[in-house]
Amino acid sequence: MLACGLLSGLPAAAGSAGALSVDVESLLAQPNLYAGQLVTIRGEVIGEVMYRGDRAWVNIGGQGSAVGVWVDAGLAREIQSCGSYGHTGDTVVVMGEFRIACPEHGGDPDIHALELHVVELGGKVQRPISQARWALGLGLLCVGFLLTLGGRHRAAP
């Protein structure tokens, strides 16, 4: 908890290196404003960490989209959980250079990370199973089968 508290103060510290603190949505809505600049973003890791040798791709999600972060594999290994249907991803703070059309990565808009810190751990998401929906679904299927059989019976010569 103490570590998380200390780490959550990191964006301000990162900001002191001249990095602009921005959310993912604003970054992607107006990429021209941040092209070539040091930025600090905070968001949930989504999908999977994709290792490429000694580096890795980490996609950080915001509202409705995500941005790719090219980071050292060692830093990426701090990430324990990635966002999906069954999991909430770790929340990370990343500081790095935003490239609107990275020549190293085929023109992809991305962030070349200098720092990556996990500030909040993710985990498994409990999705309750609705018995009412199961009953409704099975009930409708039974009715449907009966109607189908009834139709075949009537159509038979």
Partner 1 sequence: MTGAFADQTGPHLRKAREKRPIGTLFVITYYAGIVLRWVAVIMVIPALVSALSGEWSVVPDFLIGAGVALVGGSTLVLLCRTAPSRVYWSQGMLTVAVSWLLSMIVCAVPSWLSGHYLSFVDACFDVMSGFTTTGLVLIQDLDHVSDGLNTWRHLLSYLGGQGMIVLALSFLAHGFPGLYTLYVGEGKDERLLPSMWRTARAIWFISVVYLLVGTGAFAVATRQAGLSAYRGLLHAFWLFMSAWSTGGFAPQSQSILFYHSRIVEAVALVVFVLGSLNFGLHYAVWSGNRREVTRNLEIRSFLVTSAILTLISLAALKVSGVYSTGEVLFRKGVFHLLSAHTTTGFMTIYPSMLVVSWPALAMFCVVLAQLLGGSASSTAGGFKGVRVGIAAKTVVHELRRLLLPESAVVVTRFHFFRDHVLGDRQARAALLVIFLYTVTVSVTAVANLAAGYPLQESLFEAASVTGNVGLTAGLTSASMPLGLKLHYILVMWSGRLEFMAVLVLVGYLIHRRRLPQ
Residues near partner 1 (CB under 8 A): 28-32, 46-52, 56-57, 59, 61, 64-66, 68, 70, 83-86, 100-101, 103, 105-110, 127-130, 133-134, 136-141, 143-145, 147-148, 150-151, 154-157
Min separation Cβ 74 and partner 1, Å: 15
Length of the chain: 157
Distances from the Cα of 63 to the Cα of 44, 46, 85, angstroms: 10, 12, 16
Closest CB to partner 1 among residues 3, 155: 155
Min separation Cβ 27 and partner 1, Å: 10
Q: CA 94 to CA 104: how far, in whole Å?
A: 19
Min separation Cβ 24 and partner 1, Å: 11
DSSP 8-state class, residue 30? S
Pairing of strands 91-102, 38-52: antiparallel
Distances from the Cα of 157 to the Cα of 64, 136, 153, angstroms: 57, 34, 9
Closest CB to partner 1 among residues 65, 80: 65
Closest CB to partner 1 among residues 4, 73: 73
Min separation Cβ 20 and partner 1, Å: 17
